[in-house]
Chains A and B, each alone.
Chain A
Amino acid sequence: MPLLFTNPALLLGALGAALPVIIHFLSRRRVQKQPFSDLRFLDEVHARQARSMGIRRWLILLLRVLAILLLVLGTAGPRWGGVSSSFTGGRAVLFVLDTSASMNTQTGDGTRLDQAVDRCAAMISALPAGAWVQVIEAGGRTQALFGDWLPAGPGAVQGLEAVTPTDGAFGLDQVLAVAAGQVSRAPQAQVEMIWLSDLQPLTGDEAVRRAATRLKDSGTVHHLLRPVGQTAVGGGVLGARLPGRALQAGQSIPLEASLTTAFAEETVVLEVDGRPVAEAVVPGVAAEPVSVTFPLTVPDAGLHRGLVRRQSDAFPMDDSRPFALKVAATINVLLVHGPDRAVDSSAGRGGWRLLEAALAPAGAPGLFRVNPVSSDRLAEGDLARHELVVLVNPEPLGRRAQEALRQYLDLGGGLLVLLGEPSQAQYYQETLLPLLGFSGQPAWHGDGAAGGQEGFQRLALTDPSHPVFQGLEADALGTLEDVRWRHWFSLAEGEARVLLQVTDESPLLLERDQGQGLVALMPTDLSPAATDFPTSSMALPFFQRLGEWLAGARALGPAATVPVGSELTISPLGGTDRDDLERSEELLVWYPGEERARPAELSWRGGRPVLTGGVARRAGFHVFTVAGDTVGLVAATVPDQESETRLWTAQRWEQEMAAWGVELSALLEGPGAGDLDEKLVGRSLAAWFYLAAQLVLLLELFLARRAGPGQASG
């Protein structure tokens, strides 16, 4: 940090330091000649003190020069420690105004955002003439406030009235990207970027690092941080988690809410469709997140609005957390099996009929509606109409079928695959398993015998807490572990999770994410030669649970719960006619708190209709309608990081930003804009220079007085 001067032209005044030198030498020339009576005493004192007097005379001269230099330097406006290196030209200051949800927290007379805007206005007002200003709103929507850089002044301050709070999160990568664009258009080569934020936790990835690099490349930027409103604390509902599977009307399910509280003995209420259905009391004050489980009886089939609500505090936005609840009347299952052969028993090839019976037992209307189809008759579009696809020993699939399967998974579909034919091992290894995200060479295990007890191995559960097994009694789990298996492919688990295995630890049920969807793989089948599972009393509940989990976990459907700032996307409720969708000009999305709907866009993905309605700006329910009928529901929630209990300190913020490549130059503190100038252009040292000049003059006066009146006046 160099020493800089606000008025460097005044440094020319340093030439005045030559004056004492000139006067000194001129005065030495004006020697007074004085006849004197007797020089004996003068000879003595002159010989003894001439040298010290000479040194003192030069010292006095030096002090006078120094005093003038200090006065000139002080007048030129010395500054130290500022991030800016320019005083003469205009200054470009880019303000980043955090407009995220947490900035709505009440502090004193207003919200944190009000404080931030006030301080931003004060800083703009304090900027010198010639400075340029731009403001980035950084919240649910990240954008430059002004069309272009504005001169600092009342106009820019008035422009701050357009700043609006959002319910979204602070998107660091987006801020840096917008900033890079603004810096490249800045009227000055150097830009001071002032962040005004409450320092809620930032999340970032490689995109942030790339954006930071782009910002660095766009120009010279100094970052200054001004924390705002960090004193208010409170609680909030951080999440509401439904079981990760398809829900069926009348089921009793646990709904787990995660929250923090600000008051003792808070009552937390669960509401469905506006009616309270359960409540719980959180003991004490939970500063750290605690989990509350509500018992919930699943309502009728359809779309439902859920809400977990706690006592409101200074930040009411996160005190009620909405969630969308879809209750399916039916889960459509496409069961793709290899064509039956003469050698196959009545159970079908690979036992697919047994699986069909397990999912949809005859005579009992259930959740699943199974549509079996032979793999050689699989038609384009079949997958898109089903919430669950099951493959049982399929014949090699064609390219179109493979592509449809990939799209199906990319859209979040659930897929159950049973592979138990040694003759297809090469196809499995080379085509199907890689398509599903598995790798390795499947090794067939089995003696080929069709009967007897030889070679059977029992099942073992590796993760009883998995949603598929959650809630099952110990007896049921024991019964499941009594199931025996004899034929299977030994398959390396790789990145997949193992749910079931046989006693030699060969995985018998693996699951992994693929695209947006889920794949459950059983490297065996249900043929009587392979297992006695179809005869087990646990076969029906196991496969139904597995089906519910696969069908309900991630598939793009008519209901979704997303954080504010996310794209509003749904796939309309099943039964919505394609022609109705394409003909209707009333594809609308209703935003929370708005009386007028906005148009939604229709697209088709993998044969499935998809409606998009823009980006969620406010927390609450967004309703999609087609010709007046509700076809989708999206609950937008305040992002988790906006909860005020997790605010960062300035030091933490600085460390995290540095890790992403954004180096903080200065921390702005104080109530107003007082220290802005100091941080930008450094601390004024003028007073110190003047003080030093005074001290030097006092010292000079002291020496000159000791030297005598002649020097003092000279």
Chain B
Amino acid sequence: MGADLLSPELVGQLGRLDLIARLVVEGFLTGMHKSPYHGFSAEFAEYRQYIPGESTANIDWRVYAKTDRHYQKVFTEETNLRSTMLLDCSASMDFTSDSKRPSKKAYAATLAAALTYLLLRQNDAVGLVTFDEAPLRRVPTRSMRRQLFQILKVLDELPPGRGTNLGEVLHQVAGRIHRRGLVMVFSDLMDDPEKVLAGLKHFRHRGHEVVVFQILDPREIDLAFSGEVEFEALENPGHKVRLEPAHLAGSYQERFAAWQDTLRRECRRRLIDLVEITTETPFAQGLGAYLRKRRRMY
């Protein structure tokens, strides 16, 4: 099954997250012509004289061209990439405008599961932190086989969300991750942009590479509702706005786009990868964004 065919709607019907993760990743890899993962975790140590009879695979031909002697690379140690996934479980992530589509939280969980599978398959270490207005659960970063099941178990049991305090949570989590690695944030970023960006900046400050998967519902972007609608805030029950979205869609879209532009611009300035996806976006796009980031790192 190709990655393009594995739509979020279909994935949502599969139910089992482990199966989903495997299908997503295998389908994704099958669709690629050449694996980009070869030698990712090898670390160069020194050069030594080539002895005839040894494999020629590690001969450094550039050195040969300069010195007219055969040297081969010696890898002293193979290390794992340390990845930490931060999953936003606030109430706003429970939103879906269409019952056939996964909620933002479900989408984020699926994407996180797929990435976990992919990382562990490459012997990278991966961990998970869930949070809403405070950190909820944490799975320490490891590269063991059973790490997959630890993480999937947490993802399967995500609690109903509460409010959001994204900026503060990012600061807290950043303070607890001591070894440098890759930080992947799964959130709608529905919070004060300055605080959110300050939290992300904290990760960068500590030497982490950061990829932010901003997951949105399509209707959050275009507000395409018909008739008169009474909106109620998921994170603030009782806060309601009654209006005809058709009248206000244009202005809403302008403001929403301005907000996203701010996030986009500030992330770029801080060398943070912002991956904007909706719950309609195929998971391959999220995986692809991770791989691009991985390639730049090594």
Residue ranges of A at the interface with B (Cβ–Cβ < 8 Å): 27-28, 30-39, 41-46, 48-50, 53, 56-57, 707-711, 713-714
17 A-B residue pairs with Cβ-Cβ distance under 8 Å, sorted by A, are: A30-B228, A32-B225, A34-B225, A34-B229, A35-B233, A35-B234, A36-B95, A37-B92, A38-B92, A39-B233, A42-B248, A43-B241, A45-B248, A45-B255, A49-B248, A707-B247, A708-B246
Would A30 and B243 be within 8 Å (CB), given that A35-B234, A42-B252, A49-B248 are in contact?
A: no
B226 within 8 A of A: yes
Chain A minimum-CB-distance residue to B92: A37
Cβ of A710: which chain B residues have Cβ within 8 Å of it? 225-228, 244-247
A607 to chain B, nearest CB (A): 108
CA distance A171 to B111 in the complex (A): 107
Instruction: Tell me how far the C-beta of B235 lies from the nearest C-beta in chain A, rounded to whole angstroms.
Output: 7
Which residues from chain A contact B241 at a C-beta distance below 8 Å? Answer: 39, 42-43, 46
Scoring B residues 194 to 229 as 1 if CB is less than 8 Å from chain A, else 0, what string do you get?
A: 000000000000000000000001001001011111
Q: Is B232 an interface residue (CB 8 A)?
A: yes
Which residues of B, 238-287, contact A by the 8 Å Cβ criterion?
239, 241-249, 251-252, 255-256, 259
Is the Cβ of B228 less than 8 Å from the Cβ of A28?
yes
Partner of B220, one of A27, A31, A32, A37: A37
Q: Which residues of A contact B132 (CB under 8 A)?
A: none
Contacts A30-B227, A34-B225, A39-B239; A46 near B248 (Cβ below 8 A):
yes
Q: Please name the residue on chain B nearest to A50 by beta carbon.
A: B243
Q: A37-B217, A41-B259 are in contact. Are A46 and B243 (CB under 8 A)?
A: yes
Cα of A713 to Cα of B226 in the assembled complex, Å: 9
Considering the complex, give the chain A residue whose CB is closest to the CB of B259.
A41
With A and B bound together, what is the CA distance between A451 and B246 in angstroms?
Answer: 130
Report if A36-B247 is in contact (Cβ < 8 Å); known contacts: A41-B252, A710-B226, A710-B227: no
Complex alpha-carbon distance, A45 and B248, angstroms: 7
The answer to whether B190 has its CB under 8 Å from any CB of chain A is yes
B270, chain A: closest CB distance, angstroms = 23
The winner among B190, B233, B235 for most chain A CB atoms within 10 A is: B233
Most chain B CB within a 10 A radius of its CB, from A38, A709, A713:
A38
Given contacts A48-B251, A708-B244, contact A36 B226 (CB under 8 A): no
Q: Are A34 and B255 in contact (CB under 8 A)?
A: no
Cβ 8 A contact of A37, one of B234, B242, B255: B234
Docked CA distance A707–B251 (Å): 11
> Chain B contacts of A46 at CB under 8 A?
241, 243, 248
Interface residue from B188, B223, B229, B249 paired with A31 (Cβ < 8 Å)? B229
Q: Considering only CB atoms, which chain A residue lies closest to B251 in the complex?
A: A45
With known contacts A35-B95, A36-B95, A49-B248, A42–B230 Cβ distance under 8 A: no
Look across to chain B and name the residue whose beta carbon is closest to the beta carbon of A30: B227
Q: Given known contacts A28-B228, A45-B251, is B244 in contact with A711 (CB within 8 Å)?
A: yes
Q: How far, in angstroms, from A57 to B228 measured CA to CA in the complex?
A: 12
> How near does chain B come to A76, taking the closest CB pair, in angstroms?
34
CB within 8 Å for A708 and B247 given contacts A37-B190, A45-B252: yes
Cross-chain contact A34 with B252 (CB below 8 angstroms) = no
A714 to B188, CA, bound (A): 33
Which residues of B approach A to under 8 Å, CB–CB?
92-93, 95, 97, 104, 188, 190, 217, 220, 223, 225-236, 239, 241-249, 251-252, 255-256, 259
Q: Which residues in B have their C-beta under 8 angstroms from that of A41?
A: 252, 255-256, 259
The 7 closest A-B pairs by CB, nearest first: A708-B246, A710-B246, A37-B92, A45-B251, A37-B95, A36-B231, A53-B247
Query: Do the beta carbons of B227 and A38 come within 8 Å of each other?
Result: no
Q: CB distance B246 to A44 under 8 Å?
A: no
From A34, A37, A48, A53, give the contact of B244 (CB < 8 A): A53
Bound-state Cα–Cα, A42 to B233, Å: 10
Contact of B232 among A36, A44, A48 (CB under 8 A): A36
CA distance A31 to B234 in the complex (A): 18
Most buried by B among A31, A42, A49: A42
Give me 17 other A-B pairs in contact (C-beta within 8 A), A36-B231, A708-B245 excluded: A28-B228, A31-B228, A33-B232, A35-B234, A36-B220, A37-B95, A37-B104, A39-B239, A42-B223, A42-B243, A42-B248, A43-B241, A45-B252, A46-B243, A53-B248, A708-B244, A709-B246
* Given known contacts A34-B231, A37-B190, A711 and B246 CB-to-CB distance under 8 angstroms: yes
CB distance from A353 to the nearest CB of B (A): 124
**B37: shortest Cβ distance to chain A, in Å?**
36
Contacts of A45 in B (CB 8 A): 248, 251-252, 255
Task: Name the residue of chain A whose CB is nearest to the CB of B192.
Answer: A40
Task: Give complex CA distance A94, B229 in Å.
Answer: 67
Complex: chain A residue closest to B188, CB-CB: A37
Q: Which residues of B contact A31 (CB under 8 A)?
A: 227-230, 242
Chain B residues, Cβ within 8 Å of A27: 227-228
- Are A35's CB and B226's CB within 8 A? no
In the bound complex, CA of A48 to CA of B239 (Å): 18
* In the bound complex, CA of A220 to CA of B95 (Å): 78
Interface-central residue, A32, A41, A49, by most chain B CB under 10 Å: A41
Question: Contact: A44 with B255, CB < 8 Å?
Answer: yes
Q: Are the CB atoms of B247 and A56 closer together than 8 Å?
A: yes
Pair B226/A709 contact, Cβ less than 8 Å: yes
Taking CB atoms, residues of chain B closer than 8 Å to A714 are 227
CB distance B232 to A35 under 8 Å?
Answer: yes
Chain B nearest CB from A42 CB (Å) reads 5
Please give me the residue from chain A that is nearest to B242 by CB atom. Answer: A31
CB-CB nearest in chain A for B164: A38
> B232 contacts A32, CB within 8 Å?
no
CA distance A709 to B93 in the complex (A): 28
Nearest-Cβ distance from residue B219 to partner chain A, whole angstroms: 9
Which residues of B lie under 8 Å from residue A707 when comparing CB positions? 244, 246-247
Give the most central of B190, B229, B248, B251: most A CB within 10 Å.
B248
A residues less than 8 Å from B233 (CB atoms)? 35-39
Bound complex: CA A46 to CA B231 (Å) = 12
A98 CA / B239 CA spacing, docked (Å): 87
Q: How far is the CB of B188 from chain A (nearest CB, A)?
A: 6
- A37, A709, A713, most chain B CB atoms within 10 A: A37
Residue of A nearest to B233 (CB): A39
Instruction: Give, as a whole number of angstroms, the nearest-CB distance from A448 to chain B.
Output: 123
A39-B233, A39-B239, A48-B251 in contact; A32/B228 too (CB < 8 A)? Answer: yes
- Name the residue in B220, B232, B247, B248 with the highest tally of chain A Cβ atoms < 10 Å from its Cβ: B247
Of A28, A39, A49, which contacts B247 at CB under 8 A?
A49
Chain A's closest residue to B217 (CB) is: A37
A446 to B63, CA, bound (A): 175
- Cross-chain contact B227 with A32 (CB below 8 angstroms): yes
Tell me the nearest residue of chain B to A39, going by C-beta: B233
What is the chain B residue whose CB lies nearest that of A36?
B231
Contacts of B223 in A (CB 8 A): 42
Please name all residues of chain B whose beta carbon is closer than 8 Å to the beta carbon of A50 when the two chains form the complex.
243
Contacts of A33 in B (CB 8 A): 229-230, 232
CA gap between A371 and B252 in the complex, in Å = 127
Q: Which residues of B contact A32 (CB under 8 A)?
A: 225, 227-230
Docked CA distance A198–B233 (Å):
86
Tell me the minimal C-beta distance from A640 to chain B in angstroms.
81
**Residues of B contacting A57 in the complex (Cβ-Cβ under 8 angstroms):** 244, 247
Q: What is the CB-to-nearest-CB distance from B220 to chain A, in angstroms, rounded to a whole number?
A: 6
Chain A residues with Cβ below 8 Å from B97 are 34
Q: In the complex, which residues of chain B have a beta carbon less than 8 angstroms from the beta carbon of A49? A: 247-248, 251
| Chain A residue with the shortest CB-CB distance to B191 | A38
Distance between Cα atoms of A41 and B216 in the complex (Å)? 15
Smallest CB separation, B273 vs chain A (Å): 23
- In contact, A711 and B247 (Cβ under 8 angstroms): yes
Give A413 to B256 CA distance when docked, in angstroms. Answer: 116
Contacts of A42 in B (CB 8 A): 223, 231, 241, 243, 248, 252
On chain A, the residues within 8 Å of B104 by CB distance are: 37
Smallest Cβ-Cβ distance to A32: which chain B residue: B229
Q: How far is the CB of A141 from chain B (nearest CB, A)?
A: 79
Q: Which residue of A lies closest to B90 (CB)?
A: A37
In whole angstroms, how far apart are the Cα atoms of A45 and B245 in the complex? 10
Complex Cα gap A579–B252 (Å): 122
